[in-house]
Amino acid sequence: MATQEHKEEIRGVGGWLSFFIFGLIVSCVITLIAGISYIPAIFENKVLSLAYLYGLTFLEILYYGGMIGFAIYLIYSLVKLKPNAVSLGKMYLILIFLTNLIGVIFSGTTGEPLASENPFLDSSSMVFRSLVFSLIWFLYLTNSKRVNNTYPQEKRKTYAIDKVFFFSILAIPFAIYLLIFVGITHETLLSSTNQASCEYPHMRIGDECCVPNTYFGIPMCNDEAAKMHQQLNHAVGNKILTTEKTENIMGKFSLMVPPDYYAIRNSKAGYYDIPLFLISYDEFGNAIMIRVIYSESSNHGETINDFYYDFKKGLDQSAPQTLTTEPQFFENEKNGFEIAIFNMTANISGIETFNAQALIKSNNEFLIVNYLSDNEDLFDHYYYEFENLVWSSDKVN
């Protein structure tokens, strides 16, 4: 009799059951924050086409919205003591585990990083946490006296609409990873086909296959080079030279520009945006160039050291004969950015060039400031202008 009375006491939404509901509320908030932070980052992908990225965005919105909707539906059913509450709870726990497991299997099979992977949430710990969370609460919903008394076995039901909701959400991760796999495979095959068909004297520059024009010290297709020549000829013909002033770069940075250079603005070379290109000539007609390349991406690494060594790796692959000095790393605390400076000697179209590089990092934004000359004597003479330009760099608020 006492046992029966004690059993009857453990009833209603309280104890660990209320903690489970609280966890569901927290899960809704975390899922919403994760969706808001992750979905815009989809478009930082440089491999997949826009059509695939829009498709992924739509599916991700469906997934995050579906998980939040399912959790809210579960909370309502638990609080209102609905007959489908327990089956909904178990479905939700299975969803959490399986959707994470699908991502890990995909990552392990294809080598692609998980969409939400970061140092705190790597694949192994994610599986472990989801497994433990799902298993413990699944066992609780199965064996708890409070749950069995509050939602009696004889009154429990599983509605058809609940199963439809469950399998619809479960299908979304499959669709997402299938779309990513198909997209990457398609883009890789397309790139390989294009690369194979782009033979010397042509080369692949961005999305185009063309005969490279290297007059401005960086390979670009003739149409882009023609635009720069037109702007340069206009400046030279009208004697439009820079005066020492601050130049705004993409609305993000400002640089102190040296005087007596011709300025070419908003040019492009393949995938590179060159918001500012400065060029000057000595009395013998030797060209001295300073160019500023802007990049905004979260894929460059967490520190300026990461970016430099990734930059150097690409340089070694594309121009193995290039010689570089050891980089010097600086932190400008006043303006809040990091800098890597190094010198480089390269051969462009048979001409030995002397090149000073500065990689400037502010959060996830980068400026690559590049000084280029084919005269070693002028290298030392003009380096102070480059140095002043680099150290004047300031983040535009």
The count of domains in the chain is 2
pLDDT for 268-308, tens place per residue? 777 678 889 898 887 777 778 888 888 766 566 678 888 88
The candidate with the shortest Cα–Cα distance to 63, out of 29, 41, 90, 39, is: 39
Does residue 69 sit in the same domain as residue 16?
yes
Residue 29 counted as domain residue: yes
What's the domain range around 65?
Answer: 2-196
Start-to-end Cα distance in the chain: 74
Q: Are residues 307 and 378 in the same domain?
A: yes
In a domain, 80, yes or no: yes
- Asked if 190 and 328 sit in the same domain, the reply is no
pLDDT tens-digit map of 175-232: 888 887 777 776 666 555 555 567 767 777 766 788 778 777 777 888 888 888 888 8
Averaged pLDDT of the chain: 79
User: Long-range contacts made by residues 206-214, C-beta under 8 angstroms, separation at least 24?
Assistant: 206/269, 206/270, 206/271, 208/270, 214/348, 214/349
Q: Are 162 and 234 found together in one domain?
A: no
Strand, coil or helix: what is 28? helix
User: Residue 111: left if φ>0, alpha if ψ -120 to 50, beta else—which one?
Assistant: left
Residues 31 and 122 in one domain: yes
- Region 234-239 average pLDDT: 87
Tokens (6 digits) for 355 = 């090149």
Q: What percent of the chain has pLDDT over 90?
A: 6
Residues 94 and 153 placed together within one structural domain of the fold: yes
> Which of 147, 168, 196 is the last residue before a domain boundary?
196
| Residue 93 resides in a domain | yes
In a domain, 202, yes or no: no
pLDDT in tens, 88-101: 999 999 888 888 77
Q: Which of 137-141, 155-159, 237-241, 389-393 has the lowest mean pLDDT?
A: 389-393
Query: In angstroms, how far apart are the furthest CA atoms of the chain?
Result: 109
CATH number at residue 222: 3.40.1000.10
Same domain, 118 and 236: no
Q: What mean pLDDT is predicted for residues 114-135?
A: 57
Asked if residue 75 lies in contact with residue 25, where contact means CB atoms within 8 angstroms, the answer is: yes
Q: Are residues 122 and 227 in the same domain?
A: no
157 and 257 inside one domain: no
Same domain membership, residue 338 and residue 249: yes
Alpha helices by DSSP H, the chain: 2-9, 15-38, 50-79, 85-110, 123-143, 145-150, 160-197, 222-237, 304-318, 376-391
Residues 225 and 178 in one domain: no
Question: Does one domain contain both 177 and 221?
Answer: no
pLDDT at res. 72:
93
CA separation for the pair 92, 213 (Å, rounded): 59
206 inside domain: no
Last residue of a domain, one of 137, 168, 196: 196
Residue 138 is encoded by which pair of tokens?
């699944």
Gap between the Cα atoms of 132 and 141, Å rounded:
14
